Each structure stands twice: as structure tokens, then as C-alpha cells.
């Protein structure tokens, strides 16, 4: 598929190579995969000379295509890519359409220990996709319904031409063993046990939704992070 056509596709697929853990490096492990120079394909390393050579651009087209398996994606990120760079490619393009009523989702997939949680939640020092997306939505785009966020509302009068206002809410659910659990509210088993097995229903206007799911209104990025980590 041509690059321009892939860029406009509704579903795009990206891959990120996880860096080696310190214990893996100490045990002599090496990268098993590398990324092609154009950042659209990954392939297994078949010889030490082809190991992690992307930085020096030593991998030729003919060389990597001789590998046993080549996998193509919309974009591939090597083990040195930052989450900020990944956000610019994956999450940032979803923010403007979201504010115009177009739904967007980011699904992470991979085996245990492959870095899904790190990419989504980040660390204390390095923000994950959730925090970066919240910054983009709450700080760089549309105004919100809260009067506290916009104390000059009354001075604007009834100007119908003013920018639309939004209410931003956060929910936090997990789907485990085909059961939907709400991680923001306690279930029947009490504190620290989420509300479990909530029903999924369909509404003519809302579409599919989780009935009884808690939605926490937020105004700042700090509100979002506090809600998710409480």
C-alpha cells in the first residue's frame, strides 16, 4: 500500500522494539530484531554484523531483504525511540478529530514484559501516551465547560460565535476474561476491589457503552493522572 494511502487509513499499525533490560545485557543477550532504514519494516537479526546497525545506516536494502522474515508496518520504532516521538506519530493525530466527534482508540498488544504499560503510562521522569495525550487535549486545544477554567465567561456575553466548549471525563476499565471491570469504583467486595462484570449496552445515540461505569470530570493533566493512580 502506498505511504499516502496508509497515512489516511482508519486503522494503522505500529511496532516498538523494547530495549534490553540491564539484567539481559549483563547476561550477554543481544537485540533479536532491527528496523529498516526507512522505519517501515522490522526483520530478525541473522548475523552479529547486522546487529542494531540502524544508527550508522549500515543496513542496505539488499541485505535486510535477505532475512528469513520481514514484517511491514505503518511505522517502526527502534529501541532508542522516545515515547514523545511515538506520541507524535500515534496519538497526536487522534486529538483534533476527537474534538470534532470522531472516536479514536489506541490498542496495545504484546506478550508480558514487552513494554505495553511503559508506553501507555510512562514513568515518573518520562510521560507515557496517556499523559502526553491529556496535555494535548487539555492544554493545547479547545476550551472547557468549567467556569474555573475560564473566569471571563460572563464578560463574553451570549456570543454564539465563540468556540465550542467541552466537558472532559476520564474512565478506567479493564476487559479481563470477557468481563468488564471498572477500576475507578469499588465493587461488592469493598475497597481496592473494582466493580466487576459491568454490562455492555447499545444506545441509538451513544452507541456501545458500559452501563454503570464511573466517569470522573477533569480539568487538568494532574486531574487525569490523579484519577488513574488513586
Cα 185 from chain centroid? Answer: 23
Q: How many residues does the chain have?
A: 230
Q: Which of helix, strand or coil describes residue 221?
A: helix
CA separation for the pair 138, 218 (Å, rounded): 9
8-state DSSP, 49: G
CA separation for the pair 205, 11 (Å, rounded): 23
Determine whether the annotation assigns residue 128 to a binding site. no
Dihedral, CA of residue 155, residue 157, residue 159 and residue 160, to nearest 10:
120
Pick from 168, 65, 78, 82: nearest CA to 119: 82
Plot region of 39 (φ>0 → left; ψ -120 to 50 → alpha; else → beta) = left
Determine whether the annotation assigns residue 113 to a binding site. yes
Determine whether the annotation assigns residue 117 to a binding site. yes
User: In degrees, to the nearest 5, what angle opens at C-alpha 165 toward C-alphas 159 and 215?
Assistant: 155
CA separation for the pair 79, 208 (Å, rounded): 37
Determine whether the annotation assigns residue 111 to a binding site. yes
Q: β-strands 14-16, 75-77: how paired?
A: parallel
Determine whether the annotation assigns residue 49 to a binding site. no
CA separation for the pair 5, 1 (Å, rounded): 7
Determine whether the annotation assigns residue 115 to a binding site. yes
Which helix H or strand E contains 98, and what residues bound it? helix 92-99
Q: Which residues are annotated as a binding site for ATP?
A: 110-117
Q: Which residues are annotated as a binding site?
A: 110-117
Amino acid at each position: 500500500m502506498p505511504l499516502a494511502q496508509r497515512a489516511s487509513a482508519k486503522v494503522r499499525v505500529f511496532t516498538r522494539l523494547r530495549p534490553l533490560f540491564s539484567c539481559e545485557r549483563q547476561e550477554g543477550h543481544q537485540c533479536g530484531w532491527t528496523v529498516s532504514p526507512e522505519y517501515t519494516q522490522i526483520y530478525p537479526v541473522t548475523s552479529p554484523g547486522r546487529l542494531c546497525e540502524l544508527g550508522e545506516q549500515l543496513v542496505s536494502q539488499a541485505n535486510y531483504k535477505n532475512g528469513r522474515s520481514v514484517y511491514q508496518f505503518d511505522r517502526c520504532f527502534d529501541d532508542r525511540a522516545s515515547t514523545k516521538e511515538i506520541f507524535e506519530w500515534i496519538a497526536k493525530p487522534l486529538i483534533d478529530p476527537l474534538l470534532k466527534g470522531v472516536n479514536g482508540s489506541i490498542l496495545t498488544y504484546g506478550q508480558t514484559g514487552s513494554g505495553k504499560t511503559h508506553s501507555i503510562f510512562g514513568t515518573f521522569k518520562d510521560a507515557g501516551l496517556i499523559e502526553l495525550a491529556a496535555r494535548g487535549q487539555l492544554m493545547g486545544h479547545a476550551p472547557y465547560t468549567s467556569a474555573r477554567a475560564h473566569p471571563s465567561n460572563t464578560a463574553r456575553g451570549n456570543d454564539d460565535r465563540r468556540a465550542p466548549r467541552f466537558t472532559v471525563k476520564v474512565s478506567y476499565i479493564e476487559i479481563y476474561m470477557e468481563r468488564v471491570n471498572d477500576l475507578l469504583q469499588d465493587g461488592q467486595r469493598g475497597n481496592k476491589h473494582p466493580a466487576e462484570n459491568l454490562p455492555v449496552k447499545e444506545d441509538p445515540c451513544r452507541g456501545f457503552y458500559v452501563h454503570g461505569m464511573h466517569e470522573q470530570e477533569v480539568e487538568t493533566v494532574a486531574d487525569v493522572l490523579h484519577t488513574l493512580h488513586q
